[in-house]
Structure 1
Amino acid sequence: MSSTLRHAKITPHRSAARGHANHGWLDTYHSFSFANWYNPNFTQFGSLRVLNEDRVKPNSGFPTHPHRDFEIFSYILSGELTHTDSTQQHKRTKNSSSSRSEQGEQEESDLFCRVRRGDIQFTTAGTGVTHAEFNYHREEPVHFLQIWVIPWKRGLAPRYDRARFADDDKRRGFVPLLSPLRGGVDATPAQERAAEPVIPGTIAIHADFVMAAGIIAPGGRFEYTVGANATDAARRKVYVHLPMTKGGRARIRLDGREEDEGGVLAEGDGAFVEGVNAGDKLVVESVGDAEAEVIILDTA
């Protein structure tokens, strides 16, 4: 198929160019500069600051540590992850929306929640939180993406949320997972408490930012609408990431472009899509031997 976004610049970010560290208990890849790995070419992309692809061994994890002034969230690819934080909001979080499919039962108390395949757990660090993430499973590692986004202002009140999004829905097309808080940067205290997102059924984030995910069968083709009809900002940037979930058998093509044009991604690769406008259609094809779980990160 031919390109429909010739005005767009698509630059691959190959997996081999990512930062990588294996600490024994943690095997981690950094798409953007993080911890002891710094690359001036990969510091942030719009409001997207961190995209780490992590595998944590059983009975291991991140001990309690502080954060502030970031929107921090984890997307679980396989296994389970137990999250604790100082907000202690896990019982009070909204998680009964009919738009969020397959909420499922969570093993939890007021102090922790356990998230699994298809779950997102989300924290507004704001004025400051401490949290820990641990894999208590005796045998299975947990594989997840940890993502940090720069909020539209500092000093926000800390908040926790979570949701589960069904694989069946993602196999029908791109499913929005996060979208901007209704009210935007000037949201009222009532809007902050309600935490209503612009796109119903998503998690509200304090940024002009949309996250979506789709699972595309070999030979399949999905179309993503830039901006997801959730933003007034005309100029957008989109980062596409293909997690390492199928032993290298998943591959995707962006905008009909061939490999020598930077349009074909293998597992672990990402791509910077720049010069696009809200409403543009980004076509993603699955051209490998296994279904491809594609993550879209859409920012102003």
Structure 2
Amino acid sequence: MKLIPRPSEERGHADHGWLKTFHTFSFATYQSGGHESYGPLRVINEDRVAPRTGFGTHSHREFEIFSYVVSGQLEHKDSMGNVEVLNRGDLQLTSAGTGISHSEKAHGPKQVHFLQIWSVPTQSGLPPKYYTRHFSDSEKTDRWVKVVGQAGSKDVTDKREGEGPAPVHSPLSMYATILGAGNGLDGDAAVALKGPKAYVHVIQTSGYNSGRGDGTTVKVKSGSEEMILREGDGAYIRVDQEGERLKVINSGESAAEIVLFDLE
């Protein structure tokens, strides 16, 4: 397994006042030939939207779009008639397919902090669909929870709401954990990656910081490969053999919220 760092301060970055955002991949005015996409992953934006502001109605097609809410409340409205306020622990997934329009705004008096993720579907012309799931802090504490899985998999249901992973029409799975200080996930507690690629990201939970990542510190390790990640940092992972497991250790002094993408 090969680990390639993606430091937080090297991500694309923009401060629009109402929106403070980081881009792992090329997006909007940030264009980087070395960071266009990774497997089916096309966008990982870490967004902070000021109270009662947000993204007005706009359209998408042929993308799988999902939002992972870290803090605050995210108000979603779309052309399919879905109106919902999402809270911490909620995951919303829109399969845009042949085309949808939606808006996303901070609901209430507080900023909303969320990850906005896009992936490329395996087929075009799919009918638009909308899904929501909730994953509590307690069920994510010190264990990986699969929050997004491939549509049609035995552990994934096509219900608009419910338990288990939300279905995505891309060859990927997304996992999340809240790892306590000094704790680790190894052996059977680690995800057996199907590969050939994966991506890990440490969410910037301690506050907005456009410089070098601070907050907690996470060590990721596989065999002789080892890397230290701070908040906002990520790492590209090249999986040599199906079933390889990535060891993750929280070496900091506070809990770390981490997401992992297994890219087939």
Fold shared, TM-score > 0.5 on shorter chain? yes
What SS does the aligned partner of 1:16 have? helix
Post-superposition CA distance 1:106-131 (Å, at most 9, x none) = xxxxxx10001000011000000000
Q: Is the 8 A contact 1:246 1:290 kept in 2?
A: no
Determine the structure 2 residue equivalent to 1:24: 17
Structure-2 change in CA distance of 1:155 and 1:52 (3 Å): same
Deviates more, 1:239-248 or 1:156-165: 239-248
Is the CA contact 1:226–1:298 (under 8 Å) kept in the aligned structure 2? no
In 1: Cα distance, 2:27 partner to 2:263 partner: 20
Instruction: Select the residue among 33, 58, 74 that pairs with 2:67.
Output: 74
Q: Deviations over 1:45-94 (max 9, x none)?
A: 11011000000000100000000000000000000000001112x4xxxx
Amino acid at match of 1:213: A
Q: Which amino acid aligns with 1:162?
A: T
Per the alignment, residue 210 of structure 2 pairs with none
Please point out which of 134, 138, 142 is paired with 1:172: 142
Do the aligned residues in 2 keep the contact of 1:222 with 1:284 (CA within 8 Å)? yes
> Cα distance, 1:161 vs. partner?
0.3
Equivalent residue in structure 1 for 2:197, among 237, 240, 243: 237
1:133 aligned residue (104, 120, 131): 104
Q: Could you tell me how far 1:257 is from its partner in structure 2? A: 8.0
Choose the corresponding residue for 1:251, options 217, 221, 246: 217
SS of 1:44 mapped into structure 2: coil
What letter is aligned with 1:118? G
Identity within the alignment, %: 39
Cα deviation 1:245-266 (Å, max 9, x = unaligned): 02532111011689xx661001
CA distance in 1 between counterparts of 2:200 and 2:230 reads 12
The change in CA–CA distance for 1:283 and 1:159 in structure 2 (over 3 A counts) is: same
If the length of structure 2 is used for normalisation, what is the TM-score? 0.90
**Aligned ranges 1:1-300 → 2 under 5 Å:** 8-88=1-81, 90=82, 112-138=83-109, 140-182=110-152, 195=158, 201-223=164-186, 224-227=190-193, 235-247=195-207, 248-255=214-221, 263-300=227-264
Distance 1:117 1:255 in 2: 29
d(CA) in 2 for partners of 1:276, 1:18: 26
How far the C-alpha of 1:183 sits from its partner, in A, is 6.7
Q: Which amino acid aligns with 1:123?
A: T
Instruction: Report the count of equivalent residues.
Output: 252
Q: What one-letter code is carried by the residue in structure 2 that aligns with 1:284?
A: V
| Distance in 1 of aligned mates of 2:232 and 2:113 | 13
Where does the alignment leave 5 or more consecutive residues of structure 1 unmatched?
Answer: 1-7, 91-111, 185-193, 228-233
On the 8 A contact 1:12/1:262 being kept in 2, the answer is: no
Structure with the greater alpha carbon radius of gyration: 1
**Aligned-partner SS, 1:147:** strand
Give the TM-score taking structure 1 as reference length.
Answer: 0.80
C-alpha RMSD over aligned residues: 2.1
How far does the alpha carbon of each residue in 1:120-177 deviate from its partner, in whole angstroms, 9 at most, with x for none? 0110000000000011312x10000000010001111000000100110111300000
Hey, which bits of structure 1, 4+ residues long, moved more than 6 A?
Answer: none
1-structure distance, mates of 2:3, 2:235: 6
In structure 1, what is the equivalent of residue 211 of structure 2?
A: none
Amino acid at match of 1:173: R
Separation in 1, partners of 2:153, 2:247? 30
CA gap 1:168/1:183 in 2 versus in 1, 3 angstroms:
closer
Q: Which runs of 5+ in 2 are unaligned?
A: 208-213
